[in-house]
Amino acid sequence: MNTVIDNFNIHVATSINELDADLWDQKIGFNHAAKSHQFLQIIESSFPARQYFYFSVYSATDSSKPIALFFSCQYRHDLFQGAQGLTESCVNSVRHLLKNFGAISIAMTGNPECHSQTWWFDDQAITESQFFSLSTQCLEQHHPKAWLLIVRDFMIQSNSDSHFYDLKSKFGHFSFTSLHPIAALSIGDQSAESHKSRLKRNYRRLIRKSLTDLTQQQYRVERQLDFSQLVDTFYSLYLNVHHRAQEYVREPFPKSFLLDLAKNPFSEATVIYDDDSRVAAFTISIFSSTIYNPYIFGTREIKPDDPNFYYALMWFDLENACHRRMTHMDMGITNYFPKQNFGAELLPLAMAVSVRKPFRWLSTLIAKALAEPQPPIRSGLK
């Protein structure tokens, strides 16, 4: 389907499969597997209840090549997801009568599984303000049943940024707030050992201890390119971690998501086995030509004398990234303290939030409620 907004021609698709894969990966997914055409195919099949729209923007005078690309996702968000104890019992009781109690419909640019910018525009053909306007209008037009609208994943270094004030003044019905920052590690052409030598002594000691404990307790580590046979085991360990998440509570991936990753050449698993050859912990990582992204982590119930599996896996993933000659690691969101110990820098992200009329006056309150506390900025490097 096609539409015209602000004198721009927009082609609207309902699946990533309707878009040219080479074009998408050239403009958006070229350096990050979690933004790629193939990865978004997996996301679509993993969450079929969601509604997706993909927007290709053209100028009024040239329909031969797009000047912007972005997509939107509508889903139901459970406000009580992760609730425990008395709250969980009360919510379950109410839902016997009101099935959707506490669930709201959200439409956003991007999706909850991509933690960084999943859009592109040619700044020689369209301004940031024009692109933002198109994004907001596409959300409003194509997601009429969504209660909350979110334009997310753009950089605002501080409240004094000029473009922050420009957007805020032009789109006053949206309230701007902070997202979880991305923990990004610059590797360059270093080896893992060279990078470790740049870390502060205490952090090098933590890595050494985790690896020493693994060796002394007779754990072994394997890299698995084909981990299909391990997905059942992985999934229970993933859920063990997911159900305890407090910083970022969201809908869990279905098991089919892990199976789909196992079939693709841009993924691999790093697995820690105990002395009985049982999986103790793992990561599933995805990678492109330049960026290595440990994406899913799982572990068994932790025992008091267990090694620090998390530190060990971060080290092994760093080794894998260097082995593949990656220049950067996207270490994702949450658990910032250990990631900064590895030398990761925190890259801030922001989003704009608006409640649909007639409740738009709630936008500021909702934005404050959704604001993610920003972790302290530290450097793990000498």
Q: What is the mean pLDDT of the chain?
A: 90
Who contacts 316 (Cβ-Cβ below 8 Å, separation ≥6)? 221, 223, 270, 283
* Residue 172, pLDDT above cutoff 80: no
Query: CB of 137 within 8 A of CB of 72?
Result: no
Who contacts 203 (Cβ-Cβ below 8 Å, separation ≥6)? 341, 342, 380
Over residues 238-255, the pLDDT tens digits come to 999 998 877 777 889 999
CA-CA distances (angstroms) from residue 50 to 10, 85, 136, 208? 22, 29, 19, 44
Over residues 51-70, the pLDDT tens digits come to 999 999 999 888 889 999 99
* Residue 153, pLDDT above cutoff 90: no
Query: Within 13 A of 162's CA, how many CA atoms are on the CB side?
Result: 1
Query: CB of 158 within 8 A of CB of 360?
Result: no
What sign does the dihedral 174-176-177-181 (CA atoms) show? positive
Phi, psi of 143 (to 5 degrees): -130, 60
Over residues 194-242, the pLDDT tens digits come to 999 999 999 999 999 999 999 999 999 999 999 999 999 999 999 999 9
Q: Report the alpha-carbon distance of residue 243 to residue 241 in Å, rounded.
A: 6
Over residues 299-352, the pLDDT tens digits come to 999 999 999 999 999 999 999 999 999 999 999 999 999 999 999 999 988 888
Q: What is the pTM of this model?
A: 0.91
Which among 39, 297, 334 is positioned nearest to 182, based on CA atoms? Answer: 334
How buried is residue 2: exposed, middle or buried, by Cβ count under 10 Å (0-12/13-18/19+)?
exposed
Who contacts 8 (Cβ-Cβ below 8 Å, separation ≥6)? 57, 58, 59, 60, 67, 126, 130, 134
* Residue 263, pLDDT above cutoff 80: yes
Q: How many residues does the chain have?
A: 382
Q: Report the alpha-carbon distance of residue 169 to residue 241 in Å, rounded.
A: 42
Q: Quickly tell me which residue has 């997905």 as its tokens.
A: 231
Q: Tokens standing for 229?
A: 């046979």
Q: Report the alpha-carbon distance of residue 61 to residue 16 in Å, rounded.
A: 25
CA-CA distances (angstroms) from residue 216 to 160, 210, 312, 324? 52, 10, 14, 28
Beta bridge partners of residue 52, listed in sequence order: 73
* 139-148, 332-341, 362-371, range with the lowest pLDDT: 362-371
Look at residue 164 in the predicted model and tell me its pLDDT.
53
Question: What is the helix (H) or strand (E) element at residue 214, kind and residue range?
Answer: helix 201-216
